[in-house]
Amino acid sequence: MTYEQIQYDVADGILTITLDRPEKLNAFTEKMLRELLDAFDRADTDDAVRAIIVTGAGRAFCAGADLSSGRGTFDYSDDARRDKPTTHRDGGGLLTLRIFQCKKPVIAAINGPAVGVGVTMTLPMDIRLASDSARMGLVFVKRGIVPEACSSWFLPRLVGIAQATEWVYTGRIFDADEAKRGGLVSRVLPGDQLLDTARALAREMSEGSAMSVALSRQMMWRMLGADHPMEAHKVDSRAIYAMGRSADAAEGVNSFLEKRPAKFTLKPSTEMPDFYPWWSPRRFE
């Protein structure tokens, strides 16, 4: 796919995806959605990509859905592909579900305003860093709609139900410091340090076994919905058994004993263990 509304740049094992409609504050469109889905598919098949950073071009991260079509922006009833409530699928949800499935760690570098889907698209990303100039808002009630992008699942798990409901029910815009106090972002940084910090963190994440990171990412996220620690014990046991006899485990131990950097070789694109995936696919119905 040729990208028109995002940039896709890989350097030193780090993929930087840049939302690229700066003249529109990187407002979200269906074309941007398709390009982002393709970018995450592409990244998962490329073992040279060890970590992903998502940021925005210009002064914004993402100003939310593109509202230029006016009052019908969120009306899908005349769309032949989405003409029934049971068949319409929210585009933001397609994106966040794809990020949820990703085998690579994902860092959001929120460089400026992030509103609506501009915030909710970051929720399945592993870490959110924000510029001190960033402003965020879950503004759905101010637009007469509801939270999307699976955010009613992600947001309370990240920040707790009380903070989630306060931000959603008021729809207010809040600054990066409030986002950090509420647990939405882990660090607030001067704008000129944001991407360097994100890249340093991505490089650190890239030093371990790519397979270990891929499995760990899915284990951590999917256990958020488990009803008992036994579910974690089942998966832990299978993963430890599979990885414990792998070339990466042998290399991890040998490199430690020999006091040298490890050279891991397992490829998440083609060599996931036999028990993966351990969950049953969920259907949209």
Domain containing 68 equals 6-205
> Are residues 28 and 130 part of one domain?
yes
Shared-domain flag, residues 60 and 191: yes
| Residue that terminates a domain, selected from 174, 205, 236 | 205
| 135 and 177 part of one domain | yes
Give the phi and the psi of residue 179 in degrees, each rounded to 5.
Answer: -60, -40
C-beta of residue 48 within 8 angstroms of C-beta of residue 13: yes
Distance, in Å, from the CA atom of 240 to the CA atom of 233, rounded to the nearest integer, reads 10
CA dihedral defined by 229, 232, 236, 237, rounded to 10 degrees?
70
- Return the HEC string of 28-96: ECHHHHHHHHHHHHHHHHCCCCCEEEEEECCCCCECCECCCCHHHCCCCCCCHHHCCCCCCCCHHHHHH
Please indicate, yes or no, whether residues 218 and 196 belong to a single structural domain of this protein: no
Q: Is 283 within the bounds of a domain?
A: yes
Answer yes or no: is 30 within a domain: yes
Q: Which CATH number belongs to the domain containing residue 125 in this structure?
A: 3.90.226.10
Helix (H) or strand (E) holding 193: none
Are residue 102 and residue 12 in the same domain, yes or no?
A: yes
**112, 188 in Cβ contact below 8 A?**
no
Same domain, 60 and 27: yes
What domain count does the chain have?
2
Tell whether 230 and 272 lie within a shared domain.
yes
Q: Supply φ then ψ for residue 59, to 5 degrees.
A: -95, -5
CATH of the domain at 234: 1.10.12.10
- 228 and 167 in a common domain: no
CA separation for the pair 248, 254 (Å, rounded)? 10
Of 142, 171, 205, the one marking the end of a domain is 205
CB 20 within 8 A of CB 57: yes
pLDDT in tens, the chain (285 residues): 899 999 999 999 999 999 999 999 999 999 999 999 999 999 999 999 999 999 999 999 999 998 777 665 666 666 654 446 667 899 999 999 999 999 999 999 999 999 999 999 999 999 999 999 999 999 999 999 999 999 999 999 999 999 999 999 999 999 999 999 999 999 999 999 999 999 999 999 999 999 999 999 999 999 999 999 999 999 999 999 999 999 999 999 999 999 999 999 999 999 999 999 999 999 998
Looking at the structure, do residues 41 and 74 belong to the same domain, yes or no?
yes
Q: Is residue 85, in this structure, part of any structural domain at all?
A: yes
Residues, the chain, total?
Answer: 285
Residue bearing tokens 């991260």:
61
Q: Tell me, yes or no, whether 155 lies in a domain.
A: yes
Q: Which of 155, 185, 205 is the last residue of a domain?
A: 205
